[in-house]
Structure 1
Amino acid sequence: MKALLLAGGLGTRLRPLTEQMPKPMAPVGNRPWIEHLVRQLRDQGVREFVLALKHYPDLIRNHLGDGKKWGVSIEYVIENETLGTAGAIKNAESLLGDCFLVFNADIVQHMNIKPLIQYHQERQATVTIGLTEVEDPSSFGVVDISETGRIARFVEKPKSGEAPSKLINAGIYVMNKEALSYIPAGREVSIERETFPLLIEAGEGVYGFTMTGYWLDMGTRERYRQVHWDLLDRKLKLPLPGKEKTSGIWTGNSCRIGDGALLIPPVVIGNRVQIGDKAIIGPYTVIGDDCRIANNTRLSETILWDGCHVREGAQLYQCVFGFGSEIGSRHILYEAFAHRIKEEEEITV
């Protein structure tokens, strides 16, 4: 069974980090999320992938290639115009089999897909939607589901207390190709507001299956940070780079830790990282490859992508800095969220 990964989103709520990159390429634990997704699906038996791209597609194609490096095969389809979730699936129709998986590739999840596929086959469904339960469903599309598992309707972002359930669309589907006949070609189509209601009205079998495991939409700054804290706490059990040399501290290759430097777990340090004397790193800090952290610095609850340079005496709290950012000497920053900052530039918080 092929897996279609929808990776064309703009990631507007994660700007400026995603200004010039697709959101699924955002690092999670120093590895692009979309690579994590391909690896975990491969480990569950998926060997053929189709990736639907739009925003800076070459960044994903150059990283994943034809998939041989990962032990899979990958094909690509490009959106020339914004097509929405259903439109992107329709655009990939020629590359899909009679039954296929669909994933929103910017949602971080770690779930077992085999029960979902089995449920779809047992119900002889046209579409089976993976569901996840959330405490507050008011920001999501909530399902009204029967005892038999059929979905009766979707309620988009219901007001508090008005949701028919706490089950939301997890962005994971098993679909039969016949469902694509309900999607018009060449225009933007919403799968929840247009396609699924059409299928339900036509009496097609649209079922929901509650999945277990980790799930979080990383589409906001707060959730992007939370994904990393969950990763460090091992609530999200993706592989971490490097070796856990002491409890809660993972360190990559060819790193230098200066005299008197203190690492407070949990901390992830990438490859070829230099940490200066008397620096204090952690807790809840992720440092990418080739970063340089100068003497007497303080980093806490902070994520640095590859190639960052933190100059002497700087203090970062709850910050996220993109590739190649430079933070000037003695800057004290709270909740800064920036990409490619240079020392002479003004840093906005």
Structure 2
Amino acid sequence: MSIAWKSGLLPLKSSIQEVIKNLDETTLQIALIIDPDGKLIGTITDGDIRRGLLRGLDLNSPVETIVYKDSLVVTPEMSRDMVLQLMQTNRIHQLPIVDEKRHVVGLYLLDEILSPSSRENSFIIMAGGRGTRLMPHTENCPKPLLPVAGKPILEHIIERAKADGFSNFIIAIHYLGHMIEDFFGDGSKFGVNISYIKEEEALGTAGALSLIKEIPKVPFIVTNGDVLTDIHYGDFLDFHERHGATATMSVRLHEWQHPFGVVRTKGVDIVGFDEKPVYRSHVNAGIYALNPDTLEKLLPKKHCDMPTLFTRLNSAGFRTIVYPMHEPWIDVGRPDDLEKANLQDGSF
């Protein structure tokens, strides 16, 4: 999503001259015409202006007669892959993002989707766990270095994040951490910057954040070092910021079918039957977006898991939200997970 989209917003009372000036200054190649409440009325491009001038309009004419009111729009929940397909199919380079009330909340630019802009946000990877369930694979190798499709799990995560514009990585290490540090170094051979948090003892999925020396100035992403996914981390961070959240947790829908027919009762009376019902719930997917002030809820060098941190934030009145994931996802926690990941040959 373009970070400069707000500069393309103009009221309906604007003149054609004002729209031309806006198009020149923003380089967005589109103007988003809104009503006083911020709802999208329509769009104007250079082509709309030229067609209006051919009809006899002049530069002082109001834009009302040239606004294109049937523009394609998308919702914030639509995945970037679907957005890209829609733009390529319809041969458009700009696509407004609107909420359920048609308020403009962003703008997709084709060039930025194809080549994401650089992000200053830190990307933190928790890679200090012992990987006990993966023994003996992890007896002499930290879990994040286990190979999947010919390269370490951690390298897959870094490559995916790098493709979304992230270049500043922090890796929390503990168990056999020197092997991770030896392999990745400062990140230069991977085209990124990598620094390390070294846990003297395991501090949990959030506790290691208390060891960060230079507090981030903008929201950052935290992911477990054993999670492989095709998620677009940039979209995830945009979602977090767009909803004004303090902390966002990625979640996946988990379905479980009861192996037996369930009898519904009221006292001793039978009131109904459910034949092998399916229960659905959201489960933690191990990827988070956090604001810098969340670190104030951590005690230095004290163990803390992410659900505990989210509970503390909730209790303090901060907004915590979920990001529903539909992308392929594997938590490489057991030998069969590792085998499954390798069978997928790097496509998650």
Sort the TM-score into its range (normalised by shorter chain).
Answer: 0.5 to 0.7
Q: Look up the match of 2:288.
A: 173
Q: Look up the match of 2:238.
A: 118
Q: Which amino acid aligns with 1:183?
A: L
Q: Look up the match of 2:208.
A: 88
Q: Look up the match of 1:205.
A: 319
Distance apart, 1:166 and its partner CA? 2.3
Q: Which amino acid aligns with 2:194?
A: I
Q: Look up the match of 2:41.
A: none
Distance apart, 1:162 and its partner CA? 11
Q: Which amino acid aligns with 2:134?
A: L
In 2, the alpha carbon distance for the partners of 1:167 and 1:83 equals 25
Alignment of 1:182-331 (within 5 A): 182-192=297-307, 194-231=308-345, 236-237=346-347
TM-score using structure 2 length: 0.57
Q: Which of 20, 24, 28 is equivalent to 2:148?
A: 28
Q: Which runs of 5+ in 2 are unaligned?
A: 1-120, 259-275
Residues 94-134 of structure 1: per-residue CA shift (max 9 Å, x gap): 35343111010111222112221121111111001111223
Alignment of 1:24-173 (within 5 A): 24-92=144-212, 94=214, 96-136=216-256, 165-173=280-288
Q: Which amino acid aligns with 2:302?
A: R
In 2, the alpha carbon distance for the partners of 1:39 and 1:91 equals 25
CA contact (8 A) 1:93 1:180 kept: no
Secondary structure in structure 1 of the residue aligned to 2:140: coil
CA contact (8 A) 1:112 1:212 kept: no
Secondary structure in structure 2 of the residue aligned to 1:94: coil
Q: Which amino acid aligns with 2:295?
A: L
CA contact (8 A) 1:50 1:95 kept: no
Distance apart, 1:67 and its partner CA? 0.8
In 2, the alpha carbon distance for the partners of 1:171 and 1:105 equals 9
Residues 168-211 of structure 1: per-residue CA shift (max 9 Å, x gap): 1111111001111111222211221x211111122101010112
TM-score using structure 1 length: 0.57
In 1, the alpha carbon distance for the partners of 2:339 and 2:211 equals 33
Q: Which amino acid aligns with 1:69?
A: K
In 2, the alpha carbon distance for the partners of 1:115 and 1:98 equals 16
Q: Which amino acid aligns with 1:217?
A: D
Q: Which amino acid aligns with 1:41?
A: A
Q: Look up the match of 1:280.
A: none
Residues 290-325 of structure 1: per-residue CA shift (max 9 Å, x gap): xxxxxxxxxxxxxxxxxxxxxxxxxxxxxxxxxxxx
RMSD: 2.2
Q: Which runs of 5+ in 1 are unaligned?
A: 139-159, 239-349
Secondary structure in structure 1 of the residue aligned to 2:230: strand
Sort the Cα spacing of 1:96 and 1:53 in 2 relative to 1 into closer, same or farther, 3 A.
Answer: farther
The percentage of aligned residue pairs carrying the same residue is 29
Q: Which amino acid aligns with 2:343?
A: W
In 1, the alpha carbon distance for the partners of 2:257 and 2:236 equals 22
Sort the Cα spacing of 1:56 and 1:173 in 2 relative to 1 into closer, same or farther, 3 A.
Answer: same
Larger Rg: 2
CA contact (8 A) 2:208 2:301 kept: no
In 1, the alpha carbon distance for the partners of 2:287 and 2:310 equals 14
Distance apart, 1:14 and its partner CA? 0.6
> Which protein, 1 or 2, shows the higher relative CO under an 8 Å CA cutoff with sep ≥ 6?
2
Distance apart, 1:93 and its partner CA? 5.2
Q: Which amino acid aligns with 2:314?
A: I
Distance apart, 1:71 and its partner CA? 0.9
Residues 310-344 of structure 1: per-residue CA shift (max 9 Å, x gap): xxxxxxxxxxxxxxxxxxxxxxxxxxxxxxxxxxx
Residues 203-261 of structure 1: per-residue CA shift (max 9 Å, x gap): 10101011231111111111111112223xxxx527xxxxxxxxxxxxxxxxxxxxxxx
Residues 12-43 of structure 1: per-residue CA shift (max 9 Å, x gap): 01111101221010000121111111111101
CA contact (8 A) 2:215 2:292 kept: no
In 1, the alpha carbon distance for the partners of 2:172 and 2:316 equals 27
In 2, the alpha carbon distance for the partners of 1:97 and 1:61 equals 25
